[in-house]
Amino acid sequence: MKKLFFFSALFHFFYLSFSQVTSDTRIYRDTLEAKRVEVINRLPDGSTFTDFSERNRKCQLLQLGISSGGENQGLLNFYDFPKSNIDNKSRVFFAIEDRDWHSRFRMVARTGGTSVFTVYDDEQKVAFSATATENDFLFVGLHKPNSTLAIGGNPVFPIKYKLIVHDGDSSLDGNLEVAGNIGIGTKDTKGYRLGVKGKVAAEEVKVALHTNWPDYVFDKEYDLPTLKEVEKHIQEKGHLENIPNAEEVTKNEGIFLGEINAKLLQKIEELTLYTIQQQKLIEALNIRLQNLEKE
């Protein structure tokens, strides 16, 4: 915010109007008091330069300070480049260097084209950039590996997250693709893609299983346990066969919804077969009873 205020104040006091000048003006003073300073220089589109050095020298409107790069390398520089044999579009260029002549800030605005705002670190690597294209696209980049974006407050050290939103709701109108895991109300997802601490309300839940659905119970080759075998397993184990008991559920911290539904369906299909067997037995007994009554 301080940088933006500085740039705004700078251009408020340095009013730039443009026409051709024939010489440089240098001011060597400790202080400068003026209501308005006009820097007048504008080269026409179609200009020709022998090289970049000539272009930069003729198109420079403002230079403040001198860096270690030399007398013509200022700490703050402003250029108005016309369309030329070097630039296919006219553009304005604003730059700030540190005393070691390292780039720290760049702003480029191409006529009818892209605007680029770039901040560099002390190693000349891009730390932040914002690009607005002529196709109405806006790209904002935080390029450092340890970058953090904090909204609504400052990040608290040590910083653990790339994005921090303080005291407010967030709205996303579109799809969200996450390569890692998501934790709601918890930081530990136990290695699962989604971890929720609390209740979940949904109109519909679909579980896509990669295992066989238990229609095999109705195959003729299926070995259906007898009811005596089922009773024996319950008496010995205290639960249905292939169904986890309370101890296993506690140890595994829950159950897999798709897996348990498949196992429960297996039991339902087995119960259906038992019911069919019992119905046939009942019908056979009824026939025998009717025959006995006729005698």
Predicted confidence (pLDDT) per residue in 231-259, tens digit? 999 999 999 998 999 998 898 888 888 88
pLDDT at 73 over 80: no
pTM greater than the 0.85 cutoff: no
* Strand arrangement of the beta sheet that strand 91-97 belongs to: 60-64, 76-81, 91-97, 103-110, 115-120, 126-132, 138-142
pLDDT at 42 over 50: yes
Helices and strands in the chain: count of H runs, count of E runs: 5, 13
pLDDT band at residue 198 using 50, 70 and 90 as cut-offs: very high
pLDDT band at residue 13 using 50, 70 and 90 as cut-offs: very low
Q: One-letter amino acid identity for 15? A: Y
What distance in Å separates the CA atoms of residue 109 and residue 92, rounded to the nearest whole number? 5
The encoded tokens of residue 115 equal 């605007």
Q: Which of 32-41, 131-140, 171-180 has the lowest mean pLDDT?
A: 32-41
Burial 269-291 (b: 16+ CB within 10 A, else e): bbeeeeeeeeeeeeeeeeeeeee
Q: One-letter amino acid identity for 266? A: Q
pLDDT at 199 over 80: yes
The encoded tokens of residue 55 equal 């272009």
pLDDT at 295 over 80: no
Nearest to 75 by CA among 65, 83, 84, 85: 65
State whether the Cα torsion 190-193-197-203 is positive or negative: negative
The predicted structure's pLDDT at residue 210: 62
Task: Kindly list the distances between the CA atom of residue 147 and the CA atoms of 127, 128, 141, 150, 163, in Å, as whole numbers in the listed order.
Answer: 8, 9, 10, 10, 9
* Cα atoms in the 13 Å half-sphere on the side-chain side of 289: 6
